[in-house]
Chain A
Amino acid sequence: MTDLYTSQRTMRNMRRAAIQRGVIAILDVGTSKIACLILRFDGPDRLREQDGVGPMAGQSQFRVIGAATTRSRGVRFGEIAVMNETERAIRTAVQAAQKMANVRVDHVIACFSGAEPRSYGLAGEWDLQDSVVTEEDVSHVLASCDVPDLGQGREVLHAQPVNFALDHRSGLGDPRGQIGHRLAVDMHLLSVEGDVVQNLLYCIKRCDLELAGIASSAYVSGVSSLVEDEQELGAACIDMGGGATGLSIFMKKHMIYADSVRMGGDHVTSDISKGLQVPLAVAERIKTRHGGLYATGMDDREMIDIGGDSGDWEKDRRQISRTELIGIMRPRVEEILEEVRATLDAAGFDSLPSQQIVLTGGGSQIPGLDGLATRILGQRVRLGRPLRVQGLPQAATGAAFASAVGLCLFAAHPQDEWWDFEIPAERYPARSLRRAVKWFRDNW
């Protein structure tokens, strides 16, 4: 535990230092594209009151000064499969963004969608020493949560206290200073495959960058796509990416569940490629320009040239109707949504008071997806676009950039995590200096 704790804490300090220096980079390592945004932090006082812009949860602190995307190479299912290909792709994105921003960045916050995230709900209890809750008590109660067996080679990515309860009062956001006897906490812990994180770390290190934070893309796209009342009342964000579909459930402004389905837009493309016998690049173009999910009579007459350069006239002049294309795409999209449904059911999404579902990510741009999702996931489905942040180029405001924008918000205003609190002195090694200090402070 201490090892992870220190590495996460180091990243937090690095994030703070980077914000002090004013420039930090955001890296979204996805299966279909790698996006890099460069943020400049100017401090909170730059916007005046009469501009009509409030603090906006820390978003007004920064502006995007550089943005670049590149085709992703060597990433499958949101995990790095070919190391140096991915490194080159990251380098391309970072270099282009640096060129646009005209500054050098050293610190980067990254997110990824794969690595089989698993959610755990933890609970802990602690009897208060004196009747007032102090910061120390909070760290005690967090430390008293018993961590389940995560499995071989898995690491904790997020561990956020979701809810505090003091005696019989539950739903406290910040219990410090309140009076009671028994403090209890509910914590949400997200574990991922450790190797995937190590690979990402290694790639970023090879690019001469330092990692100042790491997040799950399901979580950060929820942060950017869900509006405030949805986060408060309960909603699920489904981030349909290229290789994986992330899923995160928010309630009371905290993520309470996250998972991912290892299927995404790339599978639709490969279906088209296989079904129509065309290369993947052509299949991708056909999907984005003519794709859809609901066939109408008009689509029977809309013929699409598939093309090809085999030299065989018959093959190169093939045409299909849009209906056929929809016939290829729809089963796969249905399959993805069914999987998401199953995951939501497993998470107990039915029991939430509000069952809003927000579809975002590049895959959510398929025409007719909202209709199909309504039939599979439930009535309250909407398509989400990420929040607008200052200075974001028009090309990067689409749903495909939900996780990149969410990561900006995460960088500016991260939620409290387990490692933001001090380790209680008892958990330190027996001969630690801090333990001695604690003993002195308690006895004198």
Chain B
Amino acid sequence: MQPLNALRPNGPAPLRQVQPARAVRRDPAPSKWAYRLQRMMLTPHVRVFLRTGLPTLVLLGGAALWLASDGNRQSLVTMLTDLREDFEARPEFSVSLASIEGASDDLAEAVRARLGLDLPMSSFDIDLDAVRGRIESLDAVKSADLRVRPGGVLQVVITERVPVAVWRTEGGLTLVDDDGRRVAGLVSRGDRPDLPLIAGEGADLFTFEALDLIAAAGPLSPRIRGLVRMGERRWDVVLDRDQRVMLPEKNPVQALERLLALDQVQDIMNRDILTVDLRSDHRPTLRLTPYALREMRRDQGIETVENEL
């Protein structure tokens, strides 16, 4: 039987309860070495090393170990080469056609032969500089412009050399352009009657001067047979009737213009003279034909003893 003063089950409980004492926690102090390790890990240098240095070292070391084996190195090289070849052999990079522009048919044929490529081939394998060098070694080609166009076309744009004169040498006739470079050989003068004829050693190097002289010749032009480079330093203009105009080294064009003025006034060039020597600035010197000379002396009453010397 319950006593009368017993607490009811739902009656007021004691106001506060103290929790039974739990076991005292183990001493949480770190050991000396744990403490030192933690301090070391907090050191800035160590942290930087662990974050960057150590992974780098591990990666490099692993790579070095793997590469130390010969077979691994070989297979790596093979793999890289295969990869590269696969990439280069893709159809996007294959060049199957060469288009040559700006050249006459004959030249185009010659250029095509000079390309030396067996198309189709990959654009990585074409050494454009070498091909350009080969093409430009042709005399008739002034410059070549090569590019690989989309669609696998190798475009070759050629600038031809334009012949401006015919150069007669002992070996034969040659067409030269204004730089004096050989363009092509010529079988006979009659093939290119439109071009002036030059001759003499070193004439090709001064073609531009020859062209200037011919342009300045004016009324004498139809009579010009050609120009001769004398002693690699000055020009002679050879006219028909074996007449010859000897021009100075310097300012040959002005000298020629002076001669033309003289010709216009005194009609010299139609006279019976052999040579007009303009090499001296001070005066032109004329050489008459022997017949004219004799006649002139006879007119003036000068008797000469003539001999062959």
A residues at B contact (CB < 8 Å)? 70, 73, 88-89, 91-92, 94-95, 98-99, 102-104, 207-208, 279, 281-282, 285-286, 289-290, 301-309, 319
Contacts and interface: CB of A to CB of B under 8 A. Distances in A.
Nearest to B46: A104
B171 interface: no
A309 B14 contact: no
Contact of A99 (B17, B21, B38): B38
A73 B27 contact: yes
A1 B18 CA distance: 56
A89 B39 CA distance: 16
Given A98-B38, A104-B42, A208-B36, A91 B30 contact: yes
Contacts of A207: 35
B16 A91 contact: no
Contacts, number: 64
Interface in B33-56: 34-36, 38-39, 42-44
B90 interface: no
17 contacts: A88-B27, A89-B29, A94-B35, A95-B30, A95-B35, A103-B42, A104-B39, A104-B42, A279-B21, A281-B24, A285-B21, A303-B16, A304-B16, A305-B14, A305-B17, A305-B18, A307-B20
A281 B29 contact: no
B15 interface: yes
Interface residues of B, number: 22
Interface of B: 14-21, 24, 27-30, 32, 34-36, 38-39, 42-44
Contacts of A102: 42
B32 A91 contact: yes
Contacts of A282: 18, 21
Central interface residue in A286, A302, A305, by most chain B CB within 10 Å = A305
Contacts of A286: 18
A315 to B, nearest CB: 13
B42 A92 contact: no
Contacts of B42: 98, 102-104
Given A104-B39, A290-B16, A92 B29 contact: yes
Given A95-B38, A303-B15, A309 B20 contact: yes
A261 B32 CA distance: 34
Contact of A92 (B15, B24, B28): B28
A112 to B, nearest CB: 19
Contacts of A319: 14
Given A102-B42, A104-B43, A307 B18 contact: yes
Given A99-B38, A279-B21, A289-B18, 14 more contacts: A88-B27, A89-B29, A91-B29, A98-B42, A102-B42, A104-B39, A104-B44, A207-B35, A282-B18, A285-B21, A302-B15, A303-B14, A306-B18, A307-B20
B211 to A, nearest CB: 82
A304 to B, nearest CB: 6
B12 to A, nearest CB: 10
A46 B194 CA distance: 92
The 4 A-B residue pairs whose C-beta atoms are closest, nearest first, are A88-B29, A104-B42, A92-B29, A305-B18
Nearest to A102: B42
A301 B14 CA distance: 9
A308 B20 CA distance: 7
Nearest to A91: B35
Contacts of B32: 91
A279 B39 CA distance: 37
A290 B14 CA distance: 14
Contacts of A94: 35
Contact of A208 (B17, B19, B30, B39): B39
Contact of B28 (A70, A301, A304, A309): A70
Contacts of A303: 14-16
Nearest to B24: A281
Contacts of B36: 208
A381 B38 CA distance: 45
Contacts of B20: 307, 309
B110 to A, nearest CB: 79
Contacts of B27: 73, 88
B256 to A, nearest CB: 89
A89 B24 CA distance: 16
B34 to A, nearest CB: 8
Contacts of B28: 70, 92
B38 A285 contact: no
A207 B28 CA distance: 16
Contact of A307 (B21, B35, B39, B43): B21
Nearest to B34: A95
Given A91-B30, A104-B39, A302 B21 contact: no
A301 B21 CA distance: 23
A94 B43 CA distance: 15
B51 to A, nearest CB: 13
B21 A281 contact: yes
A278 to B, nearest CB: 8
Contacts of B29: 70, 88-89, 91-92
A304 B43 CA distance: 51
Nearest to B21: A282
Nearest to A290: B16
Contacts of B18: 282, 285-286, 289, 304-307
A279 B29 CA distance: 23
A92 B31 CA distance: 9
A208 B43 CA distance: 13
Nearest to A89: B29
Nearest to B36: A208
Nearest to B12: A301
